[in-house]
């Protein structure tokens, strides 16, 4: 099973990297981009085939290591 974890800054947290990308897109004349938020994606290959236990385990990984839950949100997608 594969777990895909998408991590992004919480609303209201300044995203300086997103602002830099937005500024660069403006400088390159890409119009119509109102905002940019930069995040990260982590792909895990799991030996488990039980979705419930896999989700629980990946949630524990996110809470203890993968995401800084004070300033970041995360979403988990499980693919069999």
pLDDT at 59: 98
pLDDT per residue of the chain (80 residues) written in tens, 0 to 9: 999 999 999 999 999 999 999 999 999 999 999 999 999 999 999 999 999 999 999 999 999 999 999 999 999 999 98
44: β partners: 3
The confidence score (pLDDT) of residue 67 equals 98
Domains of the chain, each with CATH number or no CATH? 2-79 (3.30.1280.10)
Closest CA relative to residue 45, chosen from 5, 2, 4: 2
* pLDDT value of position 74: 98
- For tokens 């209201």, the residue is 12
């Amino acid at each position: 099973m594969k777990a895909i974890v998408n991590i992004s800054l919480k609303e209201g947290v300044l995203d300086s990297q997103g602002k830099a990308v937005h500024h660069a897109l403006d400088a390159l004349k890409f119009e119509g981009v109102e905002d940019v938020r930069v995040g990260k994606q982590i792909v895990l290959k799991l030996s488990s085939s039980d979705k419930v236990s896999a989700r629980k385990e990946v949630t524990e990984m996110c809470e203890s290591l993968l995401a800084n839950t004070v300033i970041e949100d995360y979403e988990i997608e499980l693919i069999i």
